[in-house]
Amino acid sequence: MLGGMRTLMWSVCLIILPVYALCLVFRETLGSQVGHGAGYFNSVPRSFFTVFRCIIIGDFADDQGRPVFLMITESFGWAWGVFYGMLSVFMTFGLFNVIMAMFVDNVVETGKARERQARKWRLRNDAYFASKISELLSIVMQYSEPHEQCRPGSDPPSLKKLRSLKNSTDVDVFELIPDGMQITPEVFAKLRSDPQVCAIFDDLDIADDDQYSLFDTLDVDGSGTVDMHELCDGMLKLRGDACRSDIIAINYMLQALQVHVHGFNQSFLHKLQSQEDRIHQMHAVLCEGTASAAMAECARRDRSAAWSIGHA
């Protein structure tokens, strides 16, 4: 409302200023003339009102129904007709289009602001997210959970619990997820073709481009299936547009990972060098032991040979 009033005031100013300038021109040029429509410009207020009637409203007639500017053109020359035609073109196709563009821009901007406000409310409303995720999980369970254990026409107990807690505001959705339930690519394709699921994705502000490859995005461990925790956590992360904070967070995570990998690499190289030093030490010890054993064997043989020669 405030933005519309501001636009209206600027529009009035854009109309009044050129009309006032034109009324001064007509007052100084035609105000001193007599008859043939010139009397409508003999004062500034009357000249302003006449210009406003002729150019803005489109009322060209005098008190007898005769066109004012036609009489002025016939009496004072065709230059006034050309001047009036240029003014009409300027006001109609120039100034009025500018004013219309201001109103259209204000309406569009107001609509965008309301949409941003509504999206911000949806993104910050945990109860709304829990409600939509509960609806999504109930549909997933209809496609995935075997119904043989239930009586015909009845729903599984977990599905009944989800539906009963659909509008609850103090429920942790992750506590309602059945253990071991997996979504296969075939089941997910059926979900993507369900209009109700597509409507839930739109309500959660999941972009259309992200929905086409959503299964591959949610399958973070590459197992070929998506469990319920991956589904809910992925829906939470994919909501809304990509923000600068997301990119900065990824950058910080990569920097931390780089530091961790660098430290692990240095530790691994240090331990590898220690192992190589130990291997060299063990090799040297083994070589020394082998040499000592060989020298002892040679000495024993020499003593045996000397003993044999002595007895001979």
Q: Which domain holds residue 42?
A: 2-124
Assess if residue 303 is contained within a domain: no
* In a domain? residue 154: yes
Q: Do 94 and 171 belong together in one domain?
A: no
pLDDT confidence tier of residue 179, bands split at 50, 70 and 90: low
Local confidence band at 134 (pLDDT 50, 70, 90 cut-offs) = confident
User: Quick one: 162 and 196 in the same domain?
Assistant: yes
Question: Domain for residue 208, yes or no?
Answer: yes
Predicted TM-score (pTM) of the model is 0.49
Q: According to DSSP H, which parts of the chain are helical?
A: 2-30, 44-51, 68-76, 79-89, 96-124, 126-144, 157-164, 185-192, 195-203, 208-212, 214-218, 228-238, 244-311
- 305 compared with 163, residue with greater pLDDT: 305
Instruction: Give me the torsion for CA of 291, 296, 299, 304, rounded to 10°.
Output: -140
Check whether residue 108 and residue 15 sit in a common domain.
yes
Does residue 190 sit in the same domain as residue 215?
yes
Q: Directed axis angle between helix 157-164 and helix 126-144, to 10°?
A: 160
SS3 of residue 166 by DSSP: coil
Is there a single domain that holds both residue 145 and residue 49?
A: no
Whole-number average pLDDT of the chain = 76
Q: What is the pLDDT of residues 28-63, one digit of tens each?
A: 888 777 777 777 788 888 888 888 888 887 777 777
Same domain, 225 and 178: yes
Q: Which residue has the higher pLDDT, 122 or 193?
A: 193
pLDDT higher than threshold 70 for residue 311: no
pLDDT tens, 216-270? 888 777 788 888 777 888 887 777 777 777 788 888 888 999 999 988 998 888 8
Q: Predicted confidence band at 147 (pLDDT cuts at 50, 70, 90)?
A: very low
> Do residues 145 and 226 both lie within one domain?
yes
Identify the CA nearest to 161 among candidates 171, 146, 151: 171
Element (H, E) at 227: strand 226-227
- Let me know if residue 118 belongs to a domain: yes
> Looking at 222, 238, 254, which one is the last position of a domain?
238
Asked if residue 150 has pLDDT above 50, the reply is no
Total domains present in the chain:
2
Q: Which two tokens stand for residue 154?
A: 């009845």
- Residues 39, 95, single domain; the answer is yes
pLDDT at residue 261, rounded to an integer: 92
